[in-house]
Amino acid sequence: MFFSVIVPVYKVEKYLPDCIESVLNQTISDFELILVDDGSPDACPEICDRYKEKDKRIKVVHKQNGGLASARRAGIKVAEGDYVFSLDSDDLIENDTLECAYKIIQETSCEIVSFSYRWVKNGQTVSITNDGLDEGFYNEKDIEKYIYPRILMDENMNHISYYLSGKAVKRELLLPHQLGVSEKISLGEDLCCVVPCYLSAKSVYISKKTAYLYTVRGDSMSKGFNTNQIYLVENVINEIYKMDIKKVVDFEKQLCRYSCFMCFTILASAAEGNHFKSVKAIKENIMNSLHNEKIACAEFKNITFKSKISVFLMKKKCYKTAFCFLNLCKLIKTVLLKG
């Protein structure tokens, strides 16, 4: 068997059938589909079992809820494919995704194939993202030269795709790193697996094909805002420190930039949702975490005006001002789009 497609499942009954169908409709059939029901309280367990009865390529794992890292671990433990493709249960893949990955692997023998993302909302493409590198095969020296400098974040705020989903990874390479991700990590689980995979890989293929369709969910923005995300990212950084990072010569600088970027992203998300009451807690959490030191040391060069102003204000610890600035940027963008 060539591919094991692992899909962690939790509270996505609205999206799950389409996700499953996008795998079953692949143009090649040499795969198994592993649905990991992570203790989902809705109709997802029944949907998984129903599809299993229809197609012998499907395996279903039912388990108690333990989070994404736990679900992926359960999936890879029963995987038998030479390569593992990770797919989130509310997303889709193009019908020829696995065939395309298969052809690339056959031609290059690469250990990782990384596809581009198409972000879809209400059936419309809203953006396309990729690793920001030229398409093609990267050997071990190429990985060190082109991927390591942006494995977390370069000085221009560029980085490889942190997502494990949308990648076909050789099972022998992925297995120890997937099993090594702490189940305590609830934000940044992908990065804690992807980074060590790249550090261990001897060959990678970067594809510009938008094979992965990420669903931008209108129901995903909560009414509240979790300011503890600051500490969740801190947990990720502490996990990164446990990795073999000697290969990346500027890793500490990248870590500072990553910390700053993630705090900026969290602050921008709060501004996007008009969570004015969260600013004080965000600032307190940053000041009481390792992010405070990392942000002070973070250095960037060619970044957008919006990012430059925000980072400057964060370095000055003016988080309320930074929030208001980001909220104003959102309002201006909204007006311009309407115009």
DSSP 89: T
Q: What does the alpha-carbon distance between residue 264 and residue 62 come to, in Å, rounded to a whole number?
A: 37
72 contacts: CB under 8 Å, gap ≥ 6: 6, 8, 36, 86, 164, 178, 181, 189, 193
Nearest Cα neighbor of 244 from 281, 213, 198, 280 is 198
pLDDT above 60: residue 222 = no
- Residue pair 164/190 in contact (Cβ under 8 Å)? The answer is yes
- Residue pair 160/198 in contact (Cβ under 8 Å)? The answer is yes
- Residue pair 241/288 in contact (Cβ under 8 Å)? The answer is no
Q: What are residue 278's phi and psi, to 5 degrees? A: -90, -15
Angle at 337 between CA 336 and CA 338, to 5 degrees: 90
pLDDT above 60: residue 148 = yes
Predicted local distance difference test score (pLDDT) of residue 27? 98
- The domains of the chain are located at 3-215, 229-338
Q: What does the alpha-carbon distance between residue 322 and residue 328 come to, in Å, rounded to a whole number?
A: 10
DSSP 146: I
Helix (H/G/I), strand (E/B), else coil: 93: strand
Report pTM: 0.93
Phi-psi label, residue 44: left if phi above 0, alpha if psi -120 to 50, beta otherwise: alpha
Q: Which range has the worst mean pLDDT, 59-63, 156-160, 239-243?
A: 239-243
Question: For the segment 254-308, what is each residue's pLDDT rounded down to a tens digit?
Answer: 999 999 999 999 999 999 999 999 999 999 999 999 999 999 999 999 999 999 9
Question: For the segment 157-200, what is each residue's pLDDT rounded down to a tens digit?
Answer: 999 999 999 999 999 999 999 999 988 898 899 999 999 999 99
Q: Where does 3-215 sit in CATH, by number? A: 3.90.550.10
**Alpha helices (H) along 201-247:** 229-240
Question: For the segment 97-117, what is each residue's pLDDT rounded down to a tens digit?
Answer: 999 999 999 999 999 999 999
Extended strands (E) in 88-160: 92-93, 112-114, 117-121, 124-129, 136-139
Q: What does the alpha-carbon distance between residue 85 and residue 165 come to, in Å, rounded to a whole number?
A: 7
